[in-house]
Chains A and B, each alone.
Chain A
Amino acid sequence: MANKTSSKRQTFWNKVFNPNFIMVYAAILIFLIIYAFGAIMYGNVGFTTLRTFINMFLDNSYYGISAVGMTMVLITGGIDLSVAAVASLTGMIIAYGTGVMGIHPAICILFSFVVGIGLGLLMGATIHYLNVPPFITTLTGMFLARGVCSLISRESLTISHPWIDSLASWKIYFKHYVDGEWVKVKPIAFINLNFILFIAMILIGFFILQRTRFGRNIYAIGGNEQSAKLMGLPVGKTKVLVYGFNGFCSVLAGVAYALYVKSGWNLSLQGGELEAISSAVIGGTLLTGGVGNMLGTLVGVLLKSVIPTLITFNGNLLSWWGKIATGVLLLIFISIQTFITNYTARKKI
């Protein structure tokens, strides 16, 4: 109350240093440091090319798509462990549907959406109305989806269908204008459907979170679910829809993965749910809910893909060093988060 006269609209800098964004800055900063390190060490062998940069998006687009839905689930204070299993199931449905049953892949994909969104809504309803912890509910969902995967086939099935092939091979090449004509940049860089899906989902996620009531309710629930209820917000509906939306993202990630590897395997993407969760957390989403945003998640995905890239360029390190580096990063980020949370909790006006 002492600030009755002193407090005014917050300054530009105040806004920039909003504690909720510090995590995003930290992620961007660490990304830049690693990128700069790569540029110095391996700039001469192509680390700084557009191709390398774009490939960081392409190689992880399916995790990125899943991270969009996951970010929302985490902001509500929940968690979803079923995403990778659902994505894997999508691959199986497409592979089995087109290969064995001879159904058009578009119908298989449509069917996958029904299954994925349905499972998401069901889990959301279980979490909210039966009051089962999200961890347990979605763990069940994960086993269920994995189980059905193995039921369909326990062997890897190739997806070969002209429609899928055409989608997977569709590309837009980066070109530049040289001597009066457009030529492809060297080394060749392109964006594909997965890239577009990833970026589109990030933008859609951003819009939902920042510009719709539904999105704002997600934050309110994460801030304090009991309060949100007493404020008259549709808590149940929002939670169920968030898990439904995440189911949609899982299936879309599964489609992207199917386009990437052109096969379905019941054990594919094992542990992928943790990739999505850690991307969101590195991007500043609090596991306790209420805080997070899509820009952060985008940076989180990029940060996680720059490390393997670096290892590839090094050529001598085992790829498992990537996991170790991610683990260390996660630890650092969670420590910073805890520090900021404690710091801001103590600093009241």
Chain B
Amino acid sequence: MANEYILEMKQIEIQFPGVKALDKVDFNLKAGEVHSLLGENGAGKSTLIKCLTGVNHKDAGQIILDGKEITPTSPQDAISMGISTVFQEINLCPNLTVAENIFAGRQPMKHGQVNWKEINKRAEELMLRFHMDIDVTRPLYVYSTAIQQMVSIARAVDIQAKILILDEPTSSLDDNEVKLLFEVMRELKAEGMGIIFITHFLDQIYQISDRMTILRNGHLIGSYNIDELSKVELVTKMVGKDMDTIFNLKRANVDPDAPYMLTASHIGIKGSVEDVSINLKKGELMGFAGLLGSGRTETAEMLFGVKGTETGEIKKNEQTVNIRQPHDAIANKIAFCPEDRKRDGIIGDLTIRENIALALQARRGFMHPISRKEQDELSDKYIKALGIATPDAEKKIGELSGGNQQKVILARWMATNPDVLILDEPTRGIDVGAKAEIQRLMLEMCDEGQSVIFISSELDEIIRCSNRIEIMRDRRKVAEINGENCTQQDILNIIAEGASALEEVKA
């Protein structure tokens, strides 16, 4: 039977407690195409993928692979059917060698024994195909996230799958690595593999995809050829609103005479960040730009007392304060939302309500418990205000999508009603709509007289929201520029060349 699709998913429905995660969704994939699956966080992309890989089970609908109906019951099952997945979080075993991670479960055998020589040889060849000349006999954990990501892709590719699913594979890769990955994807495509590609980077979608399918709130919006939709149309379809309404954000209005909320003069730690001075006004949004490792996070950690400063002093409301540990910072109404939410932020097994109440409880001290009623009110208020997509406040936070988790953490700190809120990469790994939402929330806080420090790697975000932008380079603050009329290029120049470029900006 001639069939142009290797995979057809018809009228898929999945019901989660309280939410219909997928409602009559169709999806199909041709051999030899890269098909992007798009949608906001919580739109149902991951659920669809998990249904295909046997992690979640569908309540209705059909999955047809190569003309035969299949019902994958476990990832193992899906792999044996030729559906191979690279998940966003690296799903490998850090204690095993690179080679073994690639071949685990299907090691070549010789005389009934695992053939280590063959494993290492083939793994080396495979990694070379990805232009990675690395020692495959070393344990995985010694390598960077980017290399680990490549290893998981190598594993998925080597399984000889018919369908390869890449769920946000590029979020930890740099430009060259992405280029490399795309090269490999094109090769695989030429070999007739069908690739499902999920990413939040719109540019990448247009670089590599042949077709795309858009989901929103568990519904299918449509499937399109890549040249059918412009980026603006695509985003509009994804979020269901116009681009303009999303990005129609107004910078915070700072009174020039506003008092200083938080000043730091020449703070630093030997060998880490040295000599950083900032003065944050009431109601101001201050952006921190700079490359990864330029000292942005370290500065935030000093202000919050994660790392005690060795030099300089910090003033809060123009009074010197001693911040040696986070507890001191919280007592001074400073809040910090760390970068890696999985590691430092959320407590996955607690409910949304409990996660929101955490910081407030910590500030009040355990002698003054927050009553259940207060907690309920608090969580209901923020679920509504922040548009957290959940049936109720009693859902475990670990079950939410990334963007919604981020909103809960934001709610946690907003609930403490801080004077200064420090956000480290709050928009990383979340989609356009949720990003705009979080930016809007930050600006609202400023309007209410709170001050925000906003750290981000995405310059357009920083420029869109910040009143002033602090630029970090090589663990030093090299410049401070006005956010009102600067361009990405200005900031890039300063990051690249240091403060000397600032003169040119001013000139």
Interface, chain A (partner B; CB < 8 A): 1, 3-5, 7-10, 14-15, 18, 20, 207, 210-213, 216-217, 219-220, 222-224, 226-234, 290-291, 344-345, 347-349
Contacts and interface: CB of A to CB of B under 8 A. Distances in A.
Contact of B107 (A216, A230, A290, A344): A216
Contact of B76 (A4, A216, A234): A234
A10 B95 contact: no
Contacts of B325: none
Given A216-B107, A230-B87, A233-B76, A344 B141 contact: yes
Given A227-B93, A344-B142, 17 more contacts: A1-B176, A1-B177, A8-B135, A9-B137, A10-B137, A20-B95, A216-B96, A216-B104, A217-B104, A224-B91, A229-B76, A231-B93, A231-B104, A232-B76, A232-B80, A290-B95, A347-B142
Contacts of B155: 231
B137 A217 contact: no
Interface of B: 55, 74-76, 78-80, 85, 87, 90-96, 100-101, 104-105, 107, 109, 113-114, 131-135, 137-139, 141-144, 146-147, 155, 174, 176-177
A217 B100 CA distance: 10
A226 B105 CA distance: 14
Nearest to A348: B144
A18 B176 CA distance: 31
Contacts of B135: 7-10
Contact of A213 (B75, B107, B142): B107
A20 to B, nearest CB: 7
A231 B91 contact: yes
Contact of A349 (B75, B91, B107, B143): B143
Nearest to A289: B95
B64 to A, nearest CB: 22
Given A5-B133, A10-B137, A232-B75, A223 B96 contact: yes
A8 B143 CA distance: 13
A4 B113 contact: no
Contacts, number: 109
Contacts of B80: 232
Contacts of A220: 93, 96, 104-105
A210, A212, A232, A291: most-surrounded residue (chain B CB, <10 A): A232
Contact of B93 (A18, A211, A223, A349): A223
B141 A1 contact: no
Contact of A211 (B104, B114, B132): B114
Contact of A216 (B114, B134, B141): B114
Contacts of B174: 1
A82 to B, nearest CB: 26
Contacts of B177: 1
A310 B87 CA distance: 55
Contact of A20 (B87, B90, B139, B143): B139
A219 B95 contact: yes
Contacts of A226: 91
A224 B94 contact: yes
A69 to B, nearest CB: 20
8 nearest A-B residue pairs (beta carbon):
A223-B93, A290-B95, A223-B95, A232-B76, A211-B113, A232-B79, A227-B91, A230-B91
A10 B131 CA distance: 18
Indicate the member of B80, B105, B176 with the most A CB atoms within 10 Å: B105
Contacts of A9: 135, 137
B138 A10 contact: yes
A231 B89 CA distance: 13
A4 B74 CA distance: 36
A223 B105 CA distance: 14
A231 B141 CA distance: 17
A312 to B, nearest CB: 39
15 contacts: A1-B147, A4-B131, A7-B133, A7-B134, A9-B137, A211-B114, A213-B105, A220-B96, A220-B104, A223-B96, A229-B75, A232-B75, A232-B79, A233-B76, A347-B142
Nearest to B90: A227
Contact of A348 (B78, B91, B133, B142): B142
B107 to A, nearest CB: 6
Contacts of A231: 75, 91-93, 101, 104-105, 155
Given A10-B137, A226-B91, A219 B147 contact: no
A231 B74 CA distance: 11
A222 B105 contact: no
B485 to A, nearest CB: 36
B369 to A, nearest CB: 29
A4 B133 contact: yes
Contacts of B90: 227
B362 to A, nearest CB: 27
Contacts of A219: 93, 95-96
A219 B95 CA distance: 8
A5 B134 CA distance: 8
Contacts of A229: 74-76
B307 to A, nearest CB: 15
B75 A1 contact: no
A1 B146 contact: yes
A329 B317 CA distance: 54
Nearest to B100: A216
A210 to B, nearest CB: 7
Contacts of B141: 344-345, 348
B79 A223 contact: no
A174 to B, nearest CB: 33
Nearest to B140: A223
Nearest to B80: A232
A184 B101 CA distance: 52
Contacts of B96: 216, 219-220, 223
B135 to A, nearest CB: 5
A96 B108 CA distance: 48
Contacts of A216: 96, 100, 104, 107, 114
Contact of A233 (B104, B137, B143): B104
Given A217-B105, A290-B93, A212 B134 contact: no
A146 to B, nearest CB: 33
A135 to B, nearest CB: 18
B92 A349 contact: no
A223 B75 contact: no
Nearest to A221: B93
B114 A213 contact: yes
B139 A228 contact: no
Contacts of A227: 90-93
Contact of A212 (B55, B94, B100, B114): B114
A264 to B, nearest CB: 38
B121 to A, nearest CB: 11
B93 A224 contact: yes
A178 B97 CA distance: 51
A231 to B, nearest CB: 6
Contacts of A1: 144, 146-147, 174, 176-177
Contacts of A234: 76, 105
Contacts of B95: 20, 219, 222-223, 290-291
Nearest to B94: A223
